[in-house]
Amino acid sequence: MTFNQPQTLKTIAEIIGAQMIGDDHFPVLGTNEIHRVKSGEIVFVNHPKYYDKALNSEATIILIDKEVDCPPGKALLVSDDPFRDFNKINTHFTKIYNFTDELHEVEVGEGTKIHSSAVLGNDIKIGKNCHIFPNVVIGDRTIIGDNVIIQSGTVLGGDAFYYRKVDGNFDRLISVGNVIIENNVEIGNNCTIDRGVTDSTIIGEGSILDNQIQIGHDTIIGKKCLIASQTGIAGCCIIEDEVTIWGQVGMASGVRVESGTVLLAKCGVNRDLKKGTYFGLIAEEFKQFLRKEIKVKNLK
């Protein structure tokens, strides 16, 4: 999430009541989740296992639960609960509507048709010549390009599935990101595309999604991808351009799939994949899979 205007380290520290290590006027441009964080942004970390990853990330402000050596050119915000305070920062700078307030600031381009049963949130932009079918739900801050088709029952901009467990209960990281649908995308019936935690979930130009597909928070789908029914893609994945994904593929969080890859039906993707054709519950190169099958049959 990028703030409407730059803040200072002192301002952020005062909002959350944290100890700061760094200059009062150290610039803070926004917040972001570790997979997408950029220079000038805050990232949070609340477990020693991930200290190094956070401290060595692109983030220049680290919200952390212990005072540690601050890397050169960076600043720290020391908090007894970084998860809670990350939420506090995000909701301070982003209003959460959740369809409870009167509709406002919705831009709709020329030639776009929106069925009367569709539900639109706030701060939405929809381009030209789009077709929004019945019972579509479009959440706050969603951006839709030109010539986009969204079929019935699809939900854009639901909350991210991002929780921690505290005292036996689940505590949610509040989603203040959005969804971006680029030009010439088609999305089928009953798909669900979660908004980013602090950044954007993106469906690239010319991509086609079948029915009943789930795409998690902060995932980026490239241009001209083809995704078949019942595929589930977890958060923070990067699917590069012209990837074909057949039915019931499941993808773990944070993986990258190289351009031009084909994932055959029911693949399980638990790691980054180079360009190729893959199959199997734990995805492996298809020719290798066939060779193994032949060897097994020859044992009989």
Question: Which residues have a catalytic role annotated?
Answer: 217
Q: Rounded to whole angstroms, how far apart are CA atoms 246 and 244? A: 7
**Token digits for 136?**
């579509």
Residue 258: name the closest of 232, 230, 283, 280 by CA: 283
Q: Rounded to whole angstroms, how far apart are CA atoms 43 and 265? A: 36
Q: How many CA atoms lie within 13 A of 257 on its CB side?
A: 34
Q: Look up residue 164 and give its amino acid.
A: R
- For the chain, the distance separating the N- and C-terminal CA atoms, rounded to the nearest angstrom, is 58
Beta bridge partners of 277: 262
Instruction: Please give the DSSP secondary-structure letter assigned to residue 35.
Output: T
Contact yes or no for 129/185 (Cβ under 8 A):
no
**Token digits for 29?**
């441009």
**Token digits for 70?**
């601050």
3-state secondary structure 238-295: EECCCCEECCCCEECCCCEECCCCEECCCCEECCCECCCEEECCCCEEHHHHHHHHHH
Residue 262: name the closest of 275, 248, 281 by CA: 275
Residue 71: name the closest of 62, 63, 84, 80 by CA: 62
